[in-house]
Amino acid sequence: MGSRWGINRTVGQIYALLFLNEAPLNAEQISEQLGFSRSNVSMGLKELQAWKLVRLKHIPGDRREYFTTPDDLWVIVRTLVEERKRREIDPTLTKLRELQLHHTPGEGEAYAFERIEEMTKLIELLTGWYDDVNRLPTDRLVQLLALGARINDLALKAASVLPRRRKPDENDGADEANTDR
Total structural domains within the chain: 2
**pLDDT value for 168:** 61
- Look at strands 65-68 and 25-26 and give their pairing: antiparallel
Angle between helices 73-84 and 110-134 (to 10 degrees): 160
**Is the residue at 170 inside a domain?**
no
**pLDDT value for 67:** 98
Residues 38, 79 within the same domain:
no
Residues 98, 156 within the same domain:
yes
CA angle (18 as vertex; 16, 22 as ends), nearest 5: 120
Greatest distance between any 2 Cα atoms in the chain:
80
Residue 71 has phi, psi (to 5 degrees) of -75, -35
pLDDT tens digits, 49-66: 999 999 999 999 999 999
Residues 42, 89 within the same domain:
no
CA 162/CA 4 separation, integer angstroms: 43
**Residue where a domain stops, chosen among 20, 36, 68:** 68
Q: Smallest Cα–Cα separation from 48: which of 100, 22, 11?
A: 11
Whether the pLDDT of residue 175 is over 90: the answer is no
pLDDT above 70 covers what percent of the chain? Answer: 90
pLDDT tens digits, 25-41: 999 999 999 999 999 99
Write out the residue range of the structural domain in which residue 63 sits: 2-68
**pLDDT value for 171:** 52
What pTM, to 2 d.p., does this model score?
Answer: 0.75
CATH code of 25's domain: 1.10.10.10
Cα-atom radius of gyration of the chain, to the nearest Å?
24
